[in-house]
Structure 1
């Protein structure tokens, strides 16, 4: 089913944000930014953090990306916000998406933003993120296909960044299968 404004409004905490996507060439500082944030998450959440991984385009050397570090965190029950959210808010994270089994939070100043995706560690979405990332790291052809798709889509104006993400979905679903992965 195609994404629509009503579906987005139900899960976006701050509503739709129209805009244009700006891609940056790969920056070797992105893994360092991830490592700093991952260390902070380990300190803040301790053993409540079951998994922490750098995902998204900034985790793939050589791939152009929106300069936002994406992190997936394994939290036993993302819907139990009282178990972890106050500690994340205390270090500057702000909830942006609230949906069953998933929270997306934003932190960082405008020059170093971070998206933190909280899922249960065994959630299939976590596996999808990691398989997709690893496939892009391993395959030049898939990396080039994905970057070309992103560059084409970045030419448009979007009612919200989630529509840009949805427009990339067909290639995101295709690439892992090219490496043999099946759910």
Structure 2
């Protein structure tokens, strides 16, 4: 189980000097599109989850639909975010070739941040985040998703922040990582209220 301090903190270390998280020939997506919520997203997750389970079997410890497409009624980039938990994400030979056979492409490698990897798929579009079982990120992702599912006012607040960030990022010609940075303050406000309600932090 991750330490509480790591669950409630927000620190993603910078890459070691001279290294990039993106593999050669890849990078952050350049176009930010926010679409209205679609009932198709849940079915797309189920399809992707079956593909992952079919090629990994017991090696897939958890396959979880996270991010905005997992929250009914919330507008989102039409890209399914999935958390995949494996025993040791740094042992790529145990899961990357199998996922590649199912159409996933490795684009991010961050061994310095809980072993994080990202693979993309285009059918349906997906960002597959791979973490180890002891990563606090997988817990944070669930907290954020479930809090938004249960609190309509927070969904409205986050939807407004997303649309504003997307409009500003598009106007400035920014990529998705810069779009994410534009809505980070609102995300942390929402997290803080969720942490307070759960008793993870004190007021």
Q: Structure 1 length as normaliser, TM-score?
A: 0.89
Q: Are 1:89 and 2:104 counterparts?
A: no
Partner of 1:107: 121
SS in structure 2 opposite 1:115? strand
- How many angstroms apart in 2 are the aligned matches of 1:117 and 1:133? 15
4+ aligned runs moved over 4 Å, structure 1? 1-4
The size of the alignment, in residue pairs, is 181
CA drift at 1:108: 2.2
Which of 160, 175, 178 is the equivalent residue of 2:190?
175
- Residues 17 and 53 (structure 1), Cα distance of their counterparts in 2 relative to 1, 3 Å cut: closer
- How many angstroms apart in 1 are the aligned matches of 2:12 and 2:118? 21
SS in structure 1 opposite 2:20? helix
- Residues 40 and 178 (structure 1), Cα distance of their counterparts in 2 relative to 1, 3 Å cut: same
CA drift at 1:2: 10
Q: Are 1:56 and 2:56 counterparts?
A: no
- How many angstroms apart in 2 are the aligned matches of 1:23 and 1:135? 21
User: What is the root-mean-square deviation in Å for CA atoms of aligned residues?
Assistant: 2.5
Partner of 2:153: 141
Structure ID, larger Rg = 2
CA drift at 1:160: 2.4
Contact residue 137 and residue 143 of structure 1 kept, 8 A: yes
Query: What is the CA deviation profile of residues 97-137 of structure 1, one whole-angstrom value per residue up to 9, with x for unaligned ones?
Result: 1101100000123xx20110000123100001000000110
CA drift at 1:20: 3.4
Contact residue 73 and residue 121 of structure 1 kept, 8 A: no
Partner of 1:162: 177
Q: Which runs of 5+ in 2 are unaligned?
A: 1-10
CA drift at 1:76: 0.9
CA drift at 1:163: 1.6
- How many angstroms apart in 2 are the aligned matches of 1:70 and 1:159? 21
- How many angstroms apart in 2 are the aligned matches of 1:146 and 1:10? 30
- Residues 2 and 75 (structure 1), Cα distance of their counterparts in 2 relative to 1, 3 Å cut: closer
Q: Structure 2 length as normaliser, TM-score?
A: 0.81
Partner of 2:43: 32
